[in-house]
Amino acid sequence: MPSGSTESTAFRSAIEVIRGVEPRVADAIGQELEDQRDSLKLIASENYASPAVLLAMGNWFSDKYAEGTVGRRFYAGCRNVDTVEALAAEHAREVFGAQHAYAQPHSGIDANLVAFWAVLAARVEAPALERAGARQVNDLSEEDWARLRHELGDQRMLGMSLDAGGHLTHGFRPNISGKMFDQRSYGTDPATGLLDYEALRKTAREFRPLVIVAGYSAYPRLVNFRIMREIADEVGATLMVDMAHFAGLVAGKVLTGDFDPVPHAQIVTTTTHKSLRGPRGGMVLCDSSLAEQVDRGCPMVLGGPLPHVMAAKAVALAEARRPDFHSYAQRIVDNSRALAEGLLRRGATLVTGGTDNHLVLIDVESSYGLTGRQAEAALLDSGVVTNRNSIPQDPNGAWYTSGIRIGTPALTTRGLGTGEMDEIAGLIDRVLTATTAGVTSAGKPSKAQHVLDAKVSDEIAQRATDLLAGFPLYPGIDLG
C-alpha cells in the first residue's frame, strides 16, 4: 500500500471540510480509522481498500444520473461516466479473461439479481416473445403477458445449501431469490465435508433446474467448475457462479484451470469489496450469449448506476492487474493455510480438515464445547474480530451456530505473514480454551452467554494490539 504525505493531506482536508458541516460525521470517520487500525480483523468478507480506491469514491460523480450503458444513456452529459464505466469493464475483462463485464451492480445481491433476470430473460422471456411474434414485452397481449409472468415465476434453481456454505441469495426463502425460484439445495459429503459432485449430479438429473448456482460464503475448499459445467450442460441448466468471496484469488491467478469459474460458467457474479479489495459494490461477467440481457440490469433490477463507485471499481481493477496483486492473492492463501495448520496443531477441529482458499471454518462445538455465538463474543472481548457461521448439519441451528469463520484477506493486506498467522491461531485457541458456556437466568445451559476470565481476554487483546503495531494500517495517513 503506498504511503506519503499526499494521502494525509487529502484525507485530512476532506475531513475538515466535512467537520465544517457536521462535526459528528467527521469524528465518526476518524474514529472508524482508529477502530480499524486497532482490531485484528479476521472477517473473511472484509478488506482494506487502497487510498486511491477510497478517494475515487468521494467526488462529484456521485451527483450524476447515468441510466443506460456506455454510449447509450437516457441522460445527457454522461461522457465522463462513460469513461469510468468503460474503464471498469475493460479492466474487469482483462483481469478475469471475460468476454463481457457489467460494472453497474451496487452490491453482490444486486449482481445476483441482474444475473438471475438475465438468464430468465434469455431463456424464458425471449422464447415467449418469439412464440408470440412480439419484439418486446409491451407488444404482448394481456393473455400472453399473464402467461409469461406465470412462466417466469415457475422456474427452478439448484444452489449450495446454507449450512454447506452457500449464500442466502442462492434461492433461500428469506431472500427474493427464494420467492422467485423453486429452489433445491446441494450439499457436502457428511464424512469429508467436501462438495459431493455425484449427489449434485443426481439431484440435477431429477430436478432439472434452469440455473445451477455455484459459489459460497463459507466453504473452505476449491470448487471444480469444470465438473459443475458438465453437470449443468447434461441437464440443460445455465451455470452461474457467485465468486463474491474468492474473486481476488481468481484475479490474482491463484485459482486457475478447473477452479477458475470464468471459462466454465455462462455467467459469473462478484462483489468488489471482499478479496478483490475494491469499493463496496458488485459486478457481472458473462459470455457473449448473455451480454445483451446483462446490460439491461438497469432498469430491470437496478436504479441509476453509482458512477463514483464505478470510478473506484476501475481503480481497484487497475490495481488487480498489477503483478503485486498476484503475490497478494498467493499470500492470502498461504496465510489461510498457516492459520488452519496452527489451529489443527493446537487440537481444533476444522470443517473439511483444512483450507485451500482464504477462509477457515472452526467447528467450535466439537473443539471447545461452545456455540458460534459464544465463541464469537469471547473472541471479540479479546480484540479478535470474527463471525459465527453454520457448519454442515449444524446442531445449534443458523442463529447460534457451531462455527467460527475466519479469513485472511484483510490481515494479508496489512502485511501479516505466516508466522503471525501461527501466533494468531494460538491466541484464538487460548481464548476458546479459556471460555465456557454460561447459564440462563433460570440456571439452564445457555447457547448465548459465555464466561471468560477478564485477565485472559485483556492479555490476548494486549497481544493483538502489540502484534498489529508492527503492521500499521494506512501508514501514509496521519489524521493529526
For the CB of residue 476, give the shortest distance to ligand PLP in the complex, in Å: 27
CB neighbour class for 441 (10 Å; exposed up to 12, middle 13-18, buried from 19) = exposed
- To the query of whether residue 280 is one of the catalytic residues in this protein, the response is yes
Q: Looking at 244, 333, 378, 411, which residue binds ligand PLP (CB under 6 A)?
A: 244
Residue 437 has φ and ψ, to the nearest 5°, of -70, 140
Task: Determine the residue with CB nearest ligand PLP.
Answer: 108
By C-beta, is 240 or 378 nearer to ligand PLP? 240
Among 47, 169, 390, 396, binds ligand PLP (CB under 6 A): 169
Binding to ligand PLP by residue 313, rule CB under 6 A? no
DSSP-derived letter for residue 100 is E
Instruction: Answer yes or no whether residue 311 interacts with ligand PLP by CB under 6 A.
Output: no
Q: How far apart are CB 131 and ligand PLP at their closest, in Å? A: 34
Between CA 338 and CA 456 the distance in angstroms is: 24
Stretch that binds ligand PLP, among 8-16, 25-33, 54-62, 103-111 (CB under 6 A): 103-111
Q: Is 67 marked active-site?
A: yes
In degrees, rounded to 5, the angle at the alpha carbon of residue 82 between the alpha carbons of residues 55 and 122 is 115
Measure the CA–CA gap between 283 and 130, rounded to whole angstroms: 29
Q: Which of 19, 156, 280, 346 is catalytic?
A: 280
Active-site residue identified among 67, 151, 182, 292: 67
User: Is residue 167 part of an annotated ligand binding site?
Assistant: yes
* Set 19, 38, 46, 65: catalytic member: 65
91 is an interface residue for ligand PLP by CB under 6 A: no
- What's the CA gap between 276 and 314, in Å, rounded? 12
Question: Which of 188, 271, 355, 401 does the annotation list as catalytic?
Answer: 271
* Shortest reach from residue 169's CB to ligand PLP, in Å: 5
Residue of 122, 356, 369 whose CA lies nearest to 249 = 356
Q: Does the annotation list 168 as a binding residue?
A: yes
Distance CA 445, CA 231 (A): 46
Our finding on whether 171 is near ligand PLP (CB under 6 A) is no
Beta carbon of residue 271, minimum distance to ligand PLP (angstroms, whole number):
4
Q: Which residues are within 8 A (CB) of 234 and not within 5 positions of it... i.e. 6 or more apart?
A: 201, 204, 205
CA-to-CA distance for 168 and 29, rounded, in angstroms?
30
What residues between 34 and 63 interact with ligand PLP by CB under 6 A? 45
In terms of CB distance, is 7 or 110 closer to ligand PLP? 110
Annotation marks residue 41 as catalytic: no
| Radius of gyration of the CA atoms of the chain, in A | 23
x/- track of binding to ligand PLP for residues 264-283 (CB under 6 A): -------x----------x-
**Does 73 participate in catalysis according to the annotation?**
no
Task: Find all residues with CB under 8 Å of 365, minimum gap 6, and list them.
Answer: 371, 372, 391, 395, 396, 402
Rule CB under 6 A: is residue 407 a binding residue for ligand PLP? no
| Whole-number Å distance between alpha carbons of 89 and 96 | 10
Residue from 167, 221, 264, 388 in contact with ligand PLP (CB under 6 A) = 167
In the residue annotation, 412 being an active-site residue is answered as no
Shorter beta-carbon distance to ligand PLP: residue 242 or 363:
242
Q: Is 215 in the site for ligand PLP (CB under 6 A)?
A: yes
Among 242, 341, 363, 381, the active-site one is 242
**Binding-residue total with ligand PLP (CB under 6 A):** 13
Rank residues 167 and 264 by Cβ distance to ligand PLP and give the closer one.
167
Helices and strands: H and E segment counts in the chain: 21, 16
Residue among 221, 274, 313, 337 flagged as catalytic:
274
Q: Is residue 75 annotated as part of the catalytic site, yes or no?
A: no
Q: Which is nearer to ligand PLP, 176 or 467 (CB)?
A: 176
- How far does Cα 108 stand from its chain's mean position? 7
Contact in structure between 75 and 67 (CB atoms under 8 Å) = yes
Contact in structure between 57 and 307 (CB atoms under 8 Å): no
CA-to-CA dists, residue 207 to 62, 186, 389, angstroms = 45, 11, 28
**Residue ranges in 104-123 that form contacts with ligand PLP under rule CB under 6 A:** 107-109
Collapsed DSSP state (helix, strand, coil) of residue 183: strand
Cell numbers found for residue 295: 446490460
Catalytic residues: 65, 67, 242, 271, 274, 280
Binding site for ligand PLP (CB under 6 A): 45, 107-109, 167, 169, 215, 217, 242, 244-245, 271, 282
Annotated binding-site members for (6S)-5,6,7,8-tetrahydrofolate: 162, 166-168
